[in-house]
Structure 1
């Protein structure tokens, strides 16, 4: 269908024919706003639309989509442990919150600590910094985050371990020598004498 006016020049017709392919959108436009179906190039636009606080272009697509999905829930529950948990879960990690009264001995009132389990997922230095910034953005303003502990699961692999032990004892044997003191026996003697003199009357 040609919508050009009758007085269109030949040049304008040629331009229209060449540029028609660039505007030929045969795809489903609604897929561009569906997080699971949107192409990778559109995820940054969706992140802006859903007010994602922090964004990293080199994140895997699944992390990007999870960040976008959780953004609304994080904004709705900012300042709660639920928001912190949703942020961490969007990376594939799990979170445990330790309140001040749960510590032994009790910590300073109004403080808390968190422990993050990576669950076998990779965690780069850049991602860890962004994760900390996200947690600080979403934490309760009236409480102090004392520390963040990140536990990385050990990578399984074959390890060869060798152990050796050397133990010895030097023993010197000398010929038997008679002890000259062995023939001396202690002898104890007691001698007492008493003299009685008797005179006539």
Structure 2
């Protein structure tokens, strides 16, 4: 069975020719705890690669050691760790848009630094856009401005900061297909049947004579 340096025992290092000796086994049992204690202490020498495992008081000391320009006690532990991680890189590129992006993303998330010629602004101005993460309050904006001022070059001026939010949702469309036929019913005209009618006329003639005596 493969063992790591952290759980190997002294007996595992002893040649097979003497590992069966009772005294050697007793010595191994006595020495192994000290051996493993030293082995487990080795990781304490690797600090930067274990930043996400270190306690907050150690992170505070590292921030002082690496001269983190923007570092305040009320920052979250995640933000402090991010600033310590990017400190060396930010100092190396201080005065560049890259350094501005480093500190911005350490405090918030995905950000893009646009120079004035990228968005048609005034010369020597820049802005920070497309910042993700959760919504922030006024105090965070103030801290963000201080952080940017620490790493930007002197002749450049911050034109603004904007956040980007993606809202997921569903849009439902309903479609009704209506098919109908229009039938116009006009008044019905009946053809009258031929009607035969006979007309009878009657006439009388009265003739008389009048004699006067």
* CA RMSD, Structure 1 to Structure 2 (Å): 2.9
- Decide which of 143, 153, 177 is 2:165's aligned counterpart: 153
The two structures have a TM-score, normalised by structure 2, of 0.51
Aligned residues of 2:63 and 2:84 also touching (Cα < 8 A): yes
- Unaligned runs of 5+ residues in structure 2 are 1-36, 170-213
Number of the residue aligned with 2:127: 113
- Of residues 54, 57, 61, the one that matches 2:70 is 54
Contact 2:113 2:127 in 1 (8 A): yes
Cα-to-partner distance string for 1:43-72 (whole Å, 9 max, x where unaligned)? 111110111112222322221111100011
* Match for residue 30 of structure 1 among 45, 70, 73: 45
Q: Which runs of no fewer than 5 residues in structure 1 stay unpaired?
A: 1-24, 158-201
Q: Which residue in the other structure is 2:200 paired with? A: none
- The farther-off stretch of 86-95 and 66-75 is 86-95
Q: Secondary structure at the match of 2:112?
A: strand
- Aligned equivalent of 2:142, options 93, 104, 129: 129
Aligned partner of residue 142 in structure 2, secondary structure:
helix
The match for 2:98 is 82
With over 3 angstroms needed to count, the CA separation of the structure-2 counterparts of 1:114 and 1:152, relative to structure 1, is: closer
The whole-number CA distance in structure 2 between the counterparts of 1:32 and 1:76 is 20
CA contact (8 A) 1:35 1:43 kept: yes
Higher Rg: 2
User: What's the CA shift string for 1:110-157, capped at 9, x where partnerless?
Assistant: 222222413x32423322211111111111222232x22232537779
Residue in structure 1 matched with residue 58 of structure 2 by the alignment: 42
Q: TM-score, normalised by structure 1?
A: 0.54
Is contact 1:31-1:37 (8 Å) kept?
A: no
Secondary structure of residue in 2 paired with 1:148: strand
